[in-house]
Each structure stands twice: as C-alpha cells, then as structure tokens.
Chain A
Amino acid sequence: MTEDDVVAQLEDSMTIGIGGWGSRRKPMSLVRAIARSSLEDLTIVSYGGPDIGILCATGKVRRAVYGFVSLDSVPLEPHFRQARQQGTIQFTELDEGAFYLGLLAAAHRVPFYPTRAGLGSDMMTMNPELRTVASPYPDADGSSEEFVAIPALRPDVSLIHMNRADAGGNGQFLGPDLYFDDLFAKAADRTFMSCEKVVATEALLDEGTFHTLKIPRLFVDGVVEAPRGAHFTECPPDYERDEAFQREYAATARDPEAWAAFADRFVHAPSHAEYLHRVDERAAERDAEGVAP
C-alpha cells in the first residue's frame, strides 16, 4: 500500500490511534498523508508528539485524547499548545497510565479497567464523563474501595511505524522500546503499519531476536514501506531524531507565515519520496548557511 491508499480507507469523524511516544517512532509519512487529505473532524488518540501538533495545525483535529504532548528535546509541542490556548480543539487529557488502561480495555473488549490513577486530581474535573466504580470485593473492614473506571479507548483505525515488517503484516521493532504500539493495534478495529523496510518473512530474525516480533499480522490490515517514515522523530537503530529539522518545525508556531511556508514545502509534499528529497535539500541549505546540526 501507499500512504494515500491508507488515507482512502479513512473517513471524516473517525477516531485514529497513533503509535509511538512523544517525538519517537511516529508514523509521520501517514500523518502527513492525513494532513494533506480532505479528512476532517478526527479524534486523535496518542501519546502525543508532532503527530498531534501537525494535525492540529492543519485543522484535522476535532478532539485530541492524550496523557501529554511533547517533542522530548523541545518539552512543549508548540502547535498543540496553540490549539489548546486558542480553544480550537476539544480534548480528553488523562493520566499516562490511565491512557494505557484505556487501550488495554479496548484490546480486551471490556468497557473499562479500574485504577486509582486520577483520584484526587483534576483528571476527574477535566473529564466529567469519567465514572468511579466500587470494588465488588470488600476490604477486611467491610468497606468497598472506589476506583476510577477508565473507559476503553477504541480507535476505528490505528497507525503505527515499525523498523521491519513482512508483506503479510508481521511487524518488528528493533529499538529499545515498543511503547504501546501492539496495544494500539489490538485496540483498533483496523490497523495500518508503515515500516522502514519490507523484508521476507524468513529474514525477520536476521536483525533481531524473536522477542522483537511483537506485531503479528492478525492485528494488521495493511503495510506501507516508508524508509525514514518516522522522520523527524527518532527511529532507532535506523536513525536518531532530526533535531535541526524539529527545531525549525517548532519555531514555525510563532509565525503563521512561517508555518504556511513550512507546511507548503514539507507537510504538503505530494509523496513521501518527494518529502525526503525536500528534507535532504533543506539539510544541504542548512549546511550552506552554517547552521549547527
């Protein structure tokens, strides 16, 4: 599949889960394909990074569901901040662990999982739809402890990015952390996976042990080969974050004209290959300008 083939499977008002974490191993070529599509009113469920930022800045987001939104080396995601401060998006802000339980509940097809996370905090105030549930198993003193019932976070479609995959949809992560990508895949009705490189099934153990094969094709509906598909987020061991590019992305939030120029050149590049070409061109310009990497 191509990125545009994936977008053709999406519809307005869908809930889209996006894997990765902050500015790490995000399916950015798929995110850009959504950004340049006509889709609108999306609910984005994500351990948020530039995926949420770009989709907010391009007007695709009706609601963002997150525990945080950060670019890691740039702690605050400026485009997301702007959307929140201008009140242009609805939001569901959860404790990071509660978010995990919401994905787990969806993956397990139960309506909620109980947790103490959120009790006493403004997570309950900010999300008045959250309910508590009493333990059906009384404590020794006969009382029943109250828990927050974190509702299932069920995406219509999840998008994840892996280091390797086979054509049948078996995915492999080679970096230090899978994050919650397997849960995003299991929680969603359908999942599309981009990867750095499609390899033959018999080559899946060439670069990592069997422990890295955490995305079975059971949970994947389509594969997109996208080398440097997570750019500018990191995708170890294939590449680190492109910090210089990320700084430029972040700086565009200060000035609508700068954002329009950035979006025109990079976000709206008509294909992933053309995007990479423009990124490399920009890196060469930066070298010529003598900007530190």
Chain B
Amino acid sequence: MNAGTDPATLDEVCVVAIAEAFRGDGEILCNPIGTTPIIGGRLARATFEPDMVMTDTVAFLVANTLPVGDAGAERLIEAWMPYRDIFDLLWSGRRHVVMGASQIDARGNQNLAAIGDWRRPRAQLLGLRGAPGNLVNHVTSYWVPNHSPRTFVPSVDVVSGPGYDRVAGLSAAVRANHEVRRVVSNLGVFDFANDERRMQVVSVHPGVTVDQVVEATGFELVLPEVVDETPRPTDEELRLIREVIDPRGLRRAEFGG
C-alpha cells in the first residue's frame, strides 16, 4: 500500500476520529483499550498531543511511538506503571480511557458486564472491570465497532460505566470528574454536548448517511441542523498509521479485513 496516495479506508477514518477524542488533553495518561483505540491514541500523541503519556500495554510508560502487536519493538521506557499504580493514577483523575461497550444508551450508560438479567445472564461478558471507577474519576470515551440496535440500545442490561442520568444526583466532585467525551462507532462520531446531555450526532463517516445512523440506533439521537462528515485522515496521519503505528494492518480485523 502506498501511504498518502491510496485513499483512506473506514478503519483509518475511525482511528483518526478516536485520536480526536484526546485533543486538548495535555499531560495525562492516554489509555485506550483495544487495537483500534490504541492506534488512535498513539496517533494523537504522535501528532497534536505530544505531552500525553502512554503504556506499552504491559507495565511501562513508553516515550516512543510503538507499533501495535509487536512485543519485540524497542521501547523508550520513561516510567514503571504496574496495575496497582494504574488505579492510584486513575483515582487522581489524570487519565482519559477509551473502552469498548457491548451496549450503550442515549445517556452514555455503558455495559460490558453481561447481557440479559445479571442474576443469571444470557451471556456473561467480562464483568464490571474498571468501568465504575473510571467514569466517576476521569474522562471516558467509547469505541463501538458494530453500530446496531443491539449495541445502541434504549436501556443497557447492566450499567458498568454510568452515564449522565446516573451521575446527575451524585456529589459535585463526581459530577465534576464525570465526562463521556466522545463515542466513535463504525458509522459516525457522537457526543453529549447539549443541555440535556443526550447522545447527539457529531459527524457521519464518509459514505454513511444520517438515515443509516438513525436506523441503526435503538434510541432517538439528537440531530443538529448540520451534521458534518467525519474528517478524512491527512496524508501525514495516513503515513503514521500505515508505516509507523500499524504496519501489519491489525486495525482491519474489526472491519472484516
């Protein structure tokens, strides 16, 4: 593939949309989880957020831009950050995580714990993991690669990460910490930047229509008068994605590639 000349594909548009979630974050732990979010986070740091710190997904903070899925890549280690320190750090608030969501609703409630009744679920998933603590301590964004009425649901089966309705009655400190900044799916980009704190369409990806997004969503989305097209990657972004951060093309796995 010839970086900079071949047009961007959907996976690359999504990577850039995830990277944009980190714009303005400065010196915090950029902590995307999963291949596509990690590529997005590394792209953000390699371009417009150079002060962010990032892990090697094992136990170290590394200053250089690592290629994904390459355990042997040379690392410029700048600190040791085993799991316990991740919790100490996240309680400090200096972190922005990108998690997946098996279900997400209009108020930003996320489920990665179980499908069905949690007492005896139809499908047990990961468990609550760190989602409850993440949401009440620092900024969170979500990546949902399979946008459908089964993932964008009227009401999630289990609230792992609480959304805006769930934190509305909590303390001022919790409300100050809580921010669901951005949801990126394979169809578009969404946020909650309105008075009602309901999910709204920010942009649809190239080739996707607003109707398609509405059709694939199990609740009413807030639709602004103008819906932009998600920005396509620049030539430099494409070069970084294709040659530096994901030369093996692992990002295509979530897109049937």
Which residue of chain B has the shortest Cβ distance to A84 in the bound complex? Answer: B124
Shortest distance between the CB of B172 and any CB in chain A (Å) = 8
Q: Chain A interface (Cβ within 8 Å of chain B)?
A: 21, 48, 66-70, 75-76, 80-81, 84-87, 93-98, 100, 115-123, 125-126, 139, 141, 143, 145-146, 176-180
The A interface is mostly helix, strand or loop, or mixed, namely: loop
- 6 tightest CB-CB pairs across the interface, nearest first? A117-B133, A120-B162, A121-B132, A176-B59, A120-B166, A84-B124
Contact partners of A67 in chain B: CB under 8 A:
127-130
Contact at A177–B59, with CB atoms within 8 Å? yes
Of the candidate stretches B82-90, B184-192, B241-249, the one touching chain A is B82-90
Q: What is the total number of residues of chain B having a CB less than 8 Å from a CB of chain A?
A: 44
Contact at B133–A66, with CB atoms within 8 Å? no
Contact partners of B84 in chain A: CB under 8 A:
100, 178-180
Number of A-B contacts (CB under 8 A): 133
Contact partners of B60 in chain A: CB under 8 A:
176
Contact partners of B128 in chain A: CB under 8 A:
67-68, 93-96, 121-123
Contact partners of B59 in chain A: CB under 8 A:
176-177
**B114 interfacial by beta-carbon distance below 8 Å:** yes
**B1 interfacial by beta-carbon distance below 8 Å:** no
- A120→B180 CA distance, assembly (Å): 14
Q: Point out the residue from A84, A100, A122 that lies within 8 Å of B120, measured CB to CB.
A: A84
Contact partners of B161 in chain A: CB under 8 A:
121
Q: Chain B interface (Cβ within 8 Å of chain A)?
A: 58-60, 80, 82-84, 87, 90-91, 113-114, 118-133, 135-137, 158-162, 166-167, 170-174, 177
- A117→B228 CA distance, assembly (Å): 36
Contact at B158–A122, with CB atoms within 8 Å? yes
- A164→B25 CA distance, assembly (Å): 42
- A122→B112 CA distance, assembly (Å): 12
Shortest distance between the CB of A169 and any CB in chain B (Å) = 22
Contact partners of A178 in chain B: CB under 8 A:
82, 84
Contact at B129–A122, with CB atoms within 8 Å? no
Contact at A116–B125, with CB atoms within 8 Å? no
